[in-house]
Structure 1
């Protein structure tokens, strides 16, 4: 009997340390990038190096005492320019959970740039002097340490009161202290309820706490740590965006939450608690922007975008937004395992991004010391942070959408014309739907509709969408284009009727070859539901569904709990019939175990499926992205041969595949034959 373990991902960050107010030096655990473990452990002397508990997937778990966390922070800062590049956990179980696969990212929203009037209005209200004033106030607290009962809590109360004053008279806005059970400093959250999509949430955050790592652990709660750049600058930046939004009377379409997190420097504790609470409540967080260090320019670039532990689609949107509205120069960086509060949201499957002030090797050298003051930021003012306030305001307006009362109203709709396909055309495979569009101010996007449903969105000319007509049944269908401008005006073309005529075949069981076969040359061969299950589990029809029945299915476990192959499909990428030299896409639908990191899907092809002993060629071998039913795809080029086949091998065990028929009590193989012209 095997033992498997469900391992959800948790991530954390910056500059963890111990509290002098703890009655004893308690045992804790950290998860940390495995490439740093040797350096971290060798830096401790006297036999008190952290104990390595386990390593997997490039992440290691170490056991140590709470007073050593600040020392690890110092090592990570000095050796790797990370702040701090590890996560602190109170239990071994929580730490080991960080070794597992990441939670799947929830469905993303459609990213568009069509709210320029609101963006520009918000820009007009942003002020360097206001930003500078907030940084000065936050840095005036000697220490904003998470367990400091004066500066740590007083700064949170001041920020709450300040945000409350900004939102005076707004019954759609609430400001609260978010208290935590493990330490004294609360987080601060301001919520602006959306007018159209109140259940979709946009988060803009930064961390409120500060730390001095150059003192003993017992001195940290009271040591001088102004944290002007890390991260009074980030909190001041999002605070300025909130101030201007309230002053302008901005009403977001989506709910927006401004957050100042407690306890970031001790392992992202504040943001972890908040992100996990949102996940437990089923909150639909559609985007997170983290602002951590915004007021120091260490390189020639205006900013950098962090690409690891962030969401690539939202990063692309953010980059496009920066290029469109600011013109700031930017480059990409990685910051290692858990480098700011965005990682807490990423761990829960929410899309998050982090624009940063510099590259990692030239960031602010004064952070985490008594010298992190406004005077030691670039030129002693808040001009650099003002750039990030503009980015935050644009992100707010374009992801939060919404309106500002009194802005000039554009009532002229765009014009749009469908240029292809022609009315009455017969289409198959991948077909281009194209359009032209114009507007008196500007076209923000063109949507392409099939049977009245949006199938694709293009935000700039030329407006063209590659529609895979094989996703609909053969017969009559309508296509249309819908143009939008930045003021919400739209125009939709008259729908055109086209005839879809794809040659698509669902395989039938071949008693000679003992699996499903598509005997006519076509563009698609699909198993449908005939592969569902594994052996007697399910049960699977015509088991084992492998060529000549030579590779038997295993029978251990439970259907829709343990591993199985559910469906297999192969199709040409361009929609034409199978032919040598054509690129094809293989799609395997599998059932993965609750701990999918222990599973593997191997995809193979053979050019002569009718041979007594076919030769199988490996296409790819991958781990399922999550538990339960998953569809995994890969492409390859068809070789010569009239009778070909693909095999999907779903198995327990992540080692490199040694054959196309690996024995194992949870393994399943299915073959799909098809004819090539």
Structure 2
């Protein structure tokens, strides 16, 4: 049955849960969330070279079964020019701890909570909804405020929306360095309720509100470095907040396809997707840790990230896997750029409340998110000053 038919039948009987802006975890009633209509025919890539035509309902059914994919409907050319990931030599060890540790002390989990409370107050951040567009506009304003308050805009830093045909824009913040060699830190801003994406509430606190505010706080503190603000780093650093990850990595594919066509020299990309849930790990009697993804990632970058975690985080890492096209780092890899992915835990202990109305702040640990912020800040600074060939 078509999504539109289901909605018309259920609009009179289904209640939607939405977080009220004054108390993001209070449930109130809301009628139908308006969406941007698209043709109901999509092309997805389930693994390298395995392509299938599906309807939108079939896309969500696959996601409900835990099957990830690239939706290549809008971006069929990603990876065609160069499927091989470029070889990059990364530092063997962190080299700037005397500068990074004083910065780490300035990370503030209350900032992450404040931003996440507002971010989860949108009924949903579904990429084809008006709420998704509004939440993106709000996030853009927060990133701009962060750059403005640090005085970075006066030294050439910038933030801009990267527009897409489905309505919700991705966001790119750029901190210029001495060269156009670029380091990318990413998270996705959209959320989804996989039962009725266009209808039900999706607070998306962990997926990926947590990653969104984690890298925003890392950006704020990175800008406390005069050397970063004044462009003295060897490389340019970008922070990305991708639209439509839940729809098949749509926003990140569009960005990295454009970078590939422009010949952009991206040396590294780190994705932070879900950084706040630890309860299943603790319930299993396991120590709190950072999950380092080992499949479909760049081995050299991943090795350096392990070193950064050991140096700058207060908890260890654990090696884990997430499968094909499991988050936006896969778009960077597909375009030929070295990428890596970290998550809140061993993948088997990650948050099972995602994609529902129960993905709420109350289940998250901001202390754990702070560890991911330490990693993000440390990696961004280290690679900003790395001397790549």
Smaller-chain TM-score bracket: 0.7 to 0.9
> What is the CA distance between 1:27 and its match in structure 2?
2.1
> What is the CA distance between 1:113 and its match in structure 2?
1.8
The correspondence for 1:281, drawn from 246, 255, 262, is: 262
The correspondence for 1:308, drawn from 266, 276, 295, is: 295
The equivalent of 2:198 in structure 1 is 221
The equivalent of 1:538 in structure 2 is none
Question: Which whole-Å CA distance do the structure 2 matches of 1:109 and 1:140 have between them?
Answer: 42
- Which stretch shifts more, 273-282 or 66-75? 66-75
The correspondence for 2:37, drawn from 6, 15, 22, is: 22
- Which stretch shifts more, 129-138 or 335-344? 129-138
Q: Does 1:325 pair with 2:312?
A: yes
> What is the CA distance between 1:337 and its match in structure 2?
1.1
User: Are the equivalent residues in 2 in contact too, given 1:148–1:222 (CA < 8 A)?
Assistant: no
SS in 2 for 1:221: coil
SS in 1 for 2:226: coil
CA change 1:332–1:22 in 2 (3 A) is same
> What is the CA distance between 1:250 and its match in structure 2?
4.7
Question: Which whole-Å CA distance do the structure 1 matches of 2:328 and 2:245 have between them?
Answer: 7
State the number of aligned residues.
340
SS in 2 for 1:94: coil
> What is the CA distance between 1:362 and its match in structure 2?
1.7
The equivalent of 1:398 in structure 2 is 382
The equivalent of 2:357 in structure 1 is 370
Which segments of 5 or more consecutive residues in structure 2 lack a partner in the other structure? Answer: 1-33
* Larger RCO (CA under 8 A, 6+ residues apart): 2
Taking the TM superposition and a 5 Å limit, the aligned residue runs for 1:333-372 are 333-372=320-359
The correspondence for 1:185, drawn from 154, 168, 171, is: 168
SS in 1 for 2:315: coil
The equivalent of 1:152 in structure 2 is 132
Q: Deviations over 1:442-470 (max 9, x none)?
A: xxx9xxxxxxxx9xxxxxxxxxxxxxxxx
Question: Which whole-Å CA distance do the structure 2 matches of 1:255 and 1:304 have between them?
Answer: 27
The equivalent of 2:222 in structure 1 is 245
SS in 1 for 2:51: strand
Question: Which whole-Å CA distance do the structure 2 matches of 1:354 and 1:128 have between them?
Answer: 22
User: Are the equivalent residues in 1 in contact too, given 2:290–2:316 (CA < 8 A)?
Assistant: yes
Which has the higher Rg, Structure 1 or Structure 2?
Answer: 1
> What is the CA distance between 1:101 and its match in structure 2?
11
User: Are the equivalent residues in 2 in contact too, given 1:109–1:286 (CA < 8 A)?
Assistant: no
> What is the CA distance between 1:377 and its match in structure 2?
2.1
Under a length normalisation based on structure 1, what TM-score does the superposition of the two structures give? Answer: 0.48
Q: Does 1:258 pair with 2:235?
A: no
SS in 2 for 1:266: coil
The equivalent of 1:64 in structure 2 is 54
Question: Which whole-Å CA distance do the structure 2 matches of 1:71 and 1:337 have between them?
Answer: 17
| Structure 1 stretches of at least 4 aligned residues deviating more than 3 Å after TM superposition | 247-250
Under a length normalisation based on structure 2, what TM-score does the superposition of the two structures give? Answer: 0.82
User: Are the equivalent residues in 2 in contact too, given 1:207–1:341 (CA < 8 A)?
Assistant: yes
The equivalent of 2:76 in structure 1 is 94
> What is the CA distance between 1:248 and its match in structure 2?
4.0
Which segments of 5 or more consecutive residues in structure 1 lack a partner in the other structure? Answer: 1-18, 34-56, 77-83, 403-444, 446-453, 455-677
The correspondence for 1:164, drawn from 144, 149, 174, is: 144
User: Are the equivalent residues in 2 in contact too, given 1:307–1:333 (CA < 8 A)?
Assistant: yes
Taking the TM superposition and a 5 Å limit, the aligned residue runs for 1:117-128 are 117-128=98-109
The structure whose residues are more often helix, as a share, is: 2
Question: Which whole-Å CA distance do the structure 1 matches of 2:85 and 2:306 have between them?
Answer: 20
RMSD: 2.4
SS in 1 for 2:186: strand
Question: Which whole-Å CA distance do the structure 1 matches of 2:38 and 2:272 have between them?
Answer: 34
User: Are the equivalent residues in 2 in contact too, given 1:314–1:352 (CA < 8 A)?
Assistant: yes
User: Are the equivalent residues in 1 in contact too, given 2:42–2:54 (CA < 8 A)?
Assistant: yes
The correspondence for 2:276, drawn from 274, 287, 295, is: 295
